[in-house]
Structure 1
Amino acid sequence: MRAGGISGPGITVNPEVLIAQRDHMLRHIHADGSISSLPGGFAIARRGNGQVIADSRLYMQGDDMRHVDRGATARTGKLHIRTFHEERDRVTFLVADFRPSMVWGMRRAFRSYAAAEALAWFGWQAVEAGGRVGLLAITADDRVLVPTRPRTSGMLAVIGGLVRAHEAALDMVAEGRDNPPLDKSLDGLDKIVPRGAEIIIATALDNKGGRLDAVLGGLARRRFPRFLLIEDRALRELPSGYYPLGNAEGSKIRAFFNEQAVTQERTTEGLDVFPIEYVDAGAAFPDGGGG
């Protein structure tokens, strides 16, 4: 039993489930015939670093010390790492929204669980195409960061980060933590993600905050944000009215749902310049995907 008392299928993120996404993804690729035809597909590229330095960024735990940028380190007083063209072109950085507003669901799975499944799919897809993956998982008051790494070992590190962050998120919900705005949770992402990287953000866009457009605009100057919008399509089928909602401690509240509230909840106003794909938490990924 978890410390917060919240556990079970579709709630607790197990590493085995996320590792299994690799086989699901490969079967989908083989049936389709081309990895690049999938959403977010990558052309196969050479492994290893290119010969031309593309950028430098702050050091993150696990980086290769052979790539220390001595000039940038001396100028700033902070350890910097060089990145290369070939590395930059194949980086996929995953962002998992595990704030309290994500830790609930109507059918099959919590939204946060569905976000982890979907991100694992895209992470394996990037690794199988010869790319590198990294992770930022945001919770009520903490962030789990996994530096970008190549190959299966890199993806397993990302999965470990997803599992740790989701466990913490479940405990924070049980403790009644507040739901911070998304824009604040994404602050500083431009200092973490290398230039030229694709950033895949899995979220329901709850409590976006007033600066989200500005944060994303800054990222989009040198990087490529896209969204996996996690939703509960079952909400659309509910007649308007009050419904009981329970928590891990057994207490219940009555919440009002109607079509207008559901539409407002998942509004993408101001974000239509970015690619957006929809994932239904009530359906297994990729069946929960959409256009």
Structure 2
Amino acid sequence: MTAALRATGVALEAASLIALRQVALRSRAEPVLAALPGGFATRRKGHGHEVADVREYVSGDDIRHLDKGTTARTGALHVRQFHEERDRVTLLVADFRSSMLWGISRAFRSVAAAEALALIGWQGVSEGGRVGLLALTPDGQVAVSPRGRVRGVLDVIGGLVRAHEQALQSVMAGTVADRSLDMAMSGLERLAPLGSEVIIASGFDDMGQGMEQRLAELARRRVPRLIRITDAAAGKLPKGRYPIRLSDGRRLRVSLSGHAQTQHETETICGRAALLIDAGSGVEQTARLLAANLPADRAP
């Protein structure tokens, strides 16, 4: 890989995505207001195994939860309370097609997509869920089956880094043959269990004619959520004509008026609400935005 592809904001580094764990956990502690409606119901899996508190016994409590140490120390019956577990499965879909491999300010849109999905992954496993990955590259896919705990997120991070490097190498080799987004997501249903949450992070360029139908079919048995990765700096470029090269190799010039566009927080894609994340924003801001729109207790 050339030096340019190892630059900050261009390369995707596992250490940076692992470090996002603390950012994700801190964002959960902050008071937030959700901007997107809707949610996701999950199947409860008993009382969990992690002790949340110890309190005095009251009539009706399960005697199996007695805390022997506290009972012996105080002389009064005490029981343990546990954190409740939820069987939430989240499949993270990362769009690393060539249209995502650019950025003007802080990072490539592909890197911002990976950061957002890693934050969601850390949040998911901290709440007792499982996470998996489907990364879309210019010439294929990288899939990681859903798994819980820290090991699950580390597997996802490994898949993200591997897929992103493959995508950069494909572009540099000139072997890019991007498929439309709807076609690139083929096989997604085999990886996402029924009732799971499917979070797609993409610029939603070249979605394909069947994207709306694919999302509708996905929504029948699963819960699709859309995150559109933008680059607000692109709307702030000075007035002028800029040369660009398309994914098929064609070159052309684009004229910009120089008038900055207002960046909103949400928009509608294929009739569905999509959260907008600016690739130029810092990870702390992204984490707060995700915490507001994907709260732990989200429900219909």
TM-based fold match above 0.5:
yes
- For residue 101 of structure 1, report the CA deviation from its aligned partner: 0.4
Write the deviation string for residues 140-164 of structure 1: whole angstroms up to 9, x where unpaired: 1110000000100011000000000
The answer as to whether partners of 2:91 and 2:132 remain within 8 angstroms in 1 is yes
- The aligned residue for residue 200 of structure 2 is 201
Distance 1:130 1:257, change over 3 A: farther
**Does residue 283 in structure 1 map to residue 264 in structure 2?**
no
1:147 — aligned with what? 145
State the partner residue of 2:99: 101
- The 5 Å alignment of 1:202-241 reads 202-241=201-240
The alignment covers a number of residue pairs equal to 242
Equivalent runs, 1:131-170 vs 2, <5 Å? 131-170=129-168
1:17-40: per-residue Cα shift (whole Å, max 9, x none)? 1111110011111233x8x97987
Aligned position for 1:125: 123
Match of 2:134, SS state, is strand
Amino acid corresponding to residue 23 of structure 2 in structure 1? H
1:165 positional shift:
0.3
Task: Tell me the distance in 1 between the aligned counterparts of 2:161 and 2:149.
Answer: 19
Residues 267, 276 of structure 2: 8 Å contact kept? no
Residue 270 to residue 205, structure 1, CA distance change in 2 (3 Å): closer
Return the match for 1:255 from 253, 256, 267: 253
Distance in 1 (alpha carbons) for counterparts of 2:43 and 2:221 = 22
1:43–1:212 Cα change, 3 Å: closer
CA contact (8 A) 1:186 1:215 kept: no
The Cα RMSD (Å) is 3.5
Contact 1:138/1:185 (CA < 8 Å) preserved in 2?
Answer: yes
Counterpart CA distance in 2 for 1:279 and 1:285 is 10
Secondary structure, counterpart of 1:202 in structure 2: strand
Alpha-carbon distance between aligned partners in 2 of 1:257 and 1:148, rounded to the nearest angstrom: 45
**Shift in alpha-carbon separation, 1:157–1:43, aligned structure 2, 3 A:** same
CA contact (8 A) 2:91 2:133 kept: yes
2:22 maps to 1:19:
no
1:242–1:254 Cα contact (<8 Å) kept: no
Task: Determine helix, strand or coil for the equivalent of 1:172.
Answer: helix
Q: Distance in 1 between matches of 2:284 and 2:277?
A: 8
Q: Distance in 1 between matches of 2:116 and 2:243?
A: 29
Match of 1:57 in 2: none
Aligned partner letter, 1:153: R
Structure 1 residues 204 and 241, CA, compared in 2 at 3 Å: closer, same or farther? same
The answer as to whether partners of 1:5 and 1:174 remain within 8 angstroms in 2 is no
Structure 1 unmatched runs, 5+ = 50-85, 248-252
How far off is 1:254 after superposition?
5.9
Contact 1:238 1:257 in 2 (8 A): no
Q: Does 1:7 align with 2:20?
A: no
1:71: which partner in 2? none
Match of 1:226, as an amino acid? R
Q: Which structure has the greater CA radius of gyration?
A: 2
Post-superposition offset of 1:178: 2.6
User: Aligned letter for 2:185?
Assistant: L
The higher-RCO structure (CA 8 Å, 6+ apart) is 2
Mapped partners of 2:14, 2:145: distance in 1: 18
Which secondary structure does the structure 1 equivalent of 2:30 belong to?
helix
Paired residue for 2:173? 175
Ranges in structure 2 where 5+ consecutive residues have no aligned partner: 49-84, 294-300
Partners of 1:198 and 1:222 in 2: CA distance: 10
Query: Residue 114 of structure 1 aligns with which residue?
Result: 112
Task: State percent identity of aligned pairs.
Answer: 42
| 3-state secondary structure, aligned to 1:6 | helix
Deviation at 1:46, TM superposition (A): 4.0
Contact 1:202 1:227 in 2 (8 A): yes
Alpha-carbon separation, structure 1, partners of 2:162 and 2:269: 32
In 1, Cα distance between the equivalents of 2:46 and 2:202? 31
Distance 1:222 1:42 in 2: 12
